[in-house]
Amino acid sequence: MQTTSWSSSTILCGTLALFACAPAATIDATGKTESERRISSHHGELRVLAAIVSFPGKQQLWTVPAVELMMSGPVNAYYREVTRQKLWLNTTVVGPLQIAGGDLCEPQSWYDRVSAALADDSLVPDSYDRVLLFVPSTGACPVAGGAFAQRAAYINGIREPKTVIHELGHTFGLAHSRSVDCGDVTLPADGEPPFAAIAEYGDPADVMAVGRGHFNVVQMEKAGWFETADHGPITTVSDSGTYILGVLSKDDQRKRGLRVLKAISPDGSRREYYYLEYRQAHGVDRQTPPGQWQGIRVLLGSQPYGLGSQLLDMTPGSGPDANSDIRDAPLPFGQSYLDPVSGLRISAKSGDSNQAIVEIELPQGPTPGACQQHATIELGQPLASIARGETATLLVRVTNNDATGCPLSLFSLTKLLSPTGVLAQPLSGGPLYLSGGQRSTLVYLLKASPAAPLGIAKLRMDIMRAGNPTSYGLSVPLTIVPE
């Protein structure tokens, strides 16, 4: 299989202008047309229009043959390899096109001017799956490139295939591949990486960060390149046991990614996973730092896809700063990682040039009797009175008093009786999914009608835990006062 080859230095979207470098808007399969478009543009031939753009007074170094060579060479080879030949680029290169601009960072305007300039040649950028604008280096955009309008990107004077691969990655809805450095621990005691510990471009291997290697498994799953008939979706670990991980960049029948549930958000809408992958010096991953081949790489990712992936440092504190600490991020063979909250254990057993063996021990259940304890329902803030014709906010806090490690429980409102003339509308929080020790808040908006009877009344609500006949009631005395 042809592999890519790069030589010059890495330049990425700068951290100063993350918006310019943000992923193109997520392409969710919310409607049939959108869904069809997503599939057609993630598999098969990707029709790309590459327009070389000139601005007055700015030197354009790109030529048509040079762009053709890069697009049909290393960029196409990269996408062919990581998608296992499921996606390939068919690029039409035009230019240089002289358009106004260059003093402001306005990629959408450039796109519109390029469209107008090409109208005479009957070339319609909108009809292509992707459009790349190769603009002369302009300081107006403080980044190496950026995606915009979901399917277009500009390349700001950079002459590296890596930048083009990266910006095209954004047009598939991919965010950056981050890393997490929590000093001497992989994750803090609460299991949540603090914001300050996250490096936006921190993954040394991944092309959606500072690396030049394969898209990591979180990104591959997001782009839909694991969902092919001959490979199947990523394996979700639901039983303790021993698992085999194939080499990420190798085209064989081994599974290339595992994911293990880490946590579920209180409202049940979001699941956070540990994603596991194994890299070796093969294919595009020959260009990753060798430290990334020494063990199992563990990343955080979520469903639905959030802000990309977060590479965890499985050998924390091994370097003087975050940059050097992450160079040996993988979990070395012979070592284990213990989730600080759930007790989940991941052990890297062994690995060679074809596969790695991983042992997953899912958290043990808590001692019998520690679960299905009482829940607590209480007001989140005092509420004594409401005036006729006015509104007030009612906060109701639900705490699951089960021991840590108990399975998730579903709490839902079964009864809400508001006083005559007072309307209670839920503002946030539907059914709540809470694990042991967790709490969350339901928010209601109370509206008193101008004719609500004055005096003391009671608001009453009942909340039940699914599978448990006990209901938890809350009675709120409420005084209705004149306007």
Contacts of 398 (CB under 8 A, 6+ apart): 375, 376, 377, 411, 432, 434, 439, 440, 441, 442, 463, 472
Q: Which string of x and - marks every residue 252-291 that binds Zn ion (by CB under 5 A)?
A: ----------------------------------------
Q: What is the C-alpha end-to-end distance of the chain, expressed in Å?
A: 78
- By beta-carbon distance, which residue lies closest to Zn ion? 13
Cα separation, 418 vs 41, in Å, equals 52
How many chain residues bind Zn ion (CB under 5 A)? Answer: 2
93 binds Zn ion (CB under 5 A): no
Taking a C-beta distance cutoff of 8 angstroms, is the pair 327, 339 a contact?
no
Instruction: State in angstroms the smallest separation of the CB of 134 from Zn ion.
Output: 16
CB of 141 to Zn ion, least distance (A): 12
Between 158 and 434, whose beta carbon lies closer to Zn ion? 158
Pick the closer one to Zn ion by CB: 11 or 93: 11
The nearest distance, CB 207 to Zn ion, in angstroms, is 10
Burial bucket for residue 66 (CB in 10 Å: 0-12, 13-18, 19+): middle
* Least distance to Zn ion, CB of residue 256, Å: 24
In angstroms, the CA 147 to CA 421 distance is 53
Shortest Å, Cβ 377 to Zn ion: 45
Nearest distance in Å: CB 73, Zn ion? 22
d(C-alpha 86, C-alpha 105), whole Å: 34
Distance CA 448, CA 480 (A): 8
CB neighbours of 172 closer than 8 A, spacing ≥ 6? 24, 27, 41, 42, 222, 223
The candidate with the shortest Cα–Cα distance to 42, out of 57, 54, 24, 56, is 24
CB 71 within 8 A of CB 28: no
Q: Which of residues 8-67 bind Zn ion (CB under 5 A)?
A: 13, 21
Q: Closer CB to Zn ion, residue 24 or residue 346?
A: 24
Q: Indicate the residue among 71 and 147 with the shorter CB distance to Zn ion.
A: 147
If the CB atoms of residues 13 and 457 are measured against Zn ion, the closer one turns out to be: 13
Across the beta sheet with 471-481, the strand order is 385-387, 471-481, 455-465, 409-417, 432-434
Q: Is 326 within 8 Å of 313 (Cβ atoms)?
A: yes
| Nearest distance in Å: CB 21, Zn ion | 4
| 21 or 396: CB nearest Zn ion | 21
**Residue 355 to residue 255: CA distance in whole angstroms:** 9
CA torsion, points 324, 325, 327, 329, in degrees to nearest 10? -170
- Which spans of this chain sit near Zn ion (rule: CB under 5 A)? 13, 21
